[in-house]
């Protein structure tokens, strides 16, 4: 194992440990906390049970159980899609958002932002993540603004895939339909 691989393995283990501790503090399992963290970042095409299953590589049954627990605890709420009432969007309640306060994310972000080459580090991590997701056959779930389908014009932002307008806050979230822009190399 190379030193870089070892560092990534140690970072992964450290973060998992932090997630376990944060979750336990709220009487939750790690997956509960991870799903809350995912949902707060997910755009309107991705705040769906099927997208949660894709993101974590878990079954729909497990997603259903997990969302059921979060709903009973008052941490998430389901709301039907305005066009298709059978589709349910899942959002965090104020109590759900409060669970994410002072979490491991903030601690990691504080350390990252203190690095002199934070932007370069982000690019390197992005490239590693996309390459590994490709190898594993997983969806990339990138940030909307960085998607090949993202368009801007006089009327604001638009998704080239669905043809729908995008509110600014949606363009900063992650999407299950995200597609990597083609590189100009080669």
Provide the binding-site residues for ligand SF4, judged by CB under 6 A: 43, 45, 144, 147, 149-150, 159, 161, 175, 177-178
Nearer to ligand SF4, 33 or 144 (CB): 144
Residues 6+ apart with CB under 8 A from 108: 15
Task: Confirm if 30 and 38 have CB atoms less than 8 A apart.
Answer: no
Nearer to ligand SF4, 52 or 159 (CB): 159
Nearer to ligand SF4, 68 or 160 (CB): 160
CA angle 90, 170, 46 (to 5 degrees): 40
Nearer to ligand SF4, 22 or 177 (CB): 177
- Minimum CB–partner distance for residue 4 and ligand SF4 (Å): 29
Residues 6+ apart with CB under 8 A from 156: 165, 166, 168
- Minimum CB–partner distance for residue 127 and ligand SF4 (Å): 18
- Minimum CB–partner distance for residue 152 and ligand SF4 (Å): 10
Q: Measured between alpha carbons, how far is 97 from 99 in angstroms, rounded to an integer?
A: 5
């Amino acid at each position: 194992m190379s030193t870089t691989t070892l560092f990534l393995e140690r970072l992964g283990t450290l973060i998992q440990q932090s997630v376990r501790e944060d979750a336990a503090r709220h009487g939750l399992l790690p997956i509960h906390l991870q799903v809350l963290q995912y949902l707060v970042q997910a755009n309107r095409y991705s705040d769906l049970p099927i997208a949660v299953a894709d993101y974590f590589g878990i079954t729909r049954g497990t997603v259903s159980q997990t969302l059921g627990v979060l709903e009973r605890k008052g941490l998430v709420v389901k709301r039907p899609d305005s066009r298709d009432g059978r589709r349910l969007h899942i959002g965090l309640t104020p109590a759900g958002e409060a669970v994410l306060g002072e979490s491991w994310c903030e601690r990691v972000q504080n350390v990252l932002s203190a690095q002199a080459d934070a932007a370069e580090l982000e690019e390197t991590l992005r490239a590693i993540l996309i390459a590994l997701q490709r190898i594993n056959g997983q969806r990339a779930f990138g940030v909307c603004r960085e998607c090949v389908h993202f368009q801007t014009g006089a009327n604001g932002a638009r998704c080239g895939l669905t043809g729908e307008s995008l509110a600014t806050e949606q363009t900063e979230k992650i999407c299950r339909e995200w597609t990597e822009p083609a590189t100009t190399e080669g």
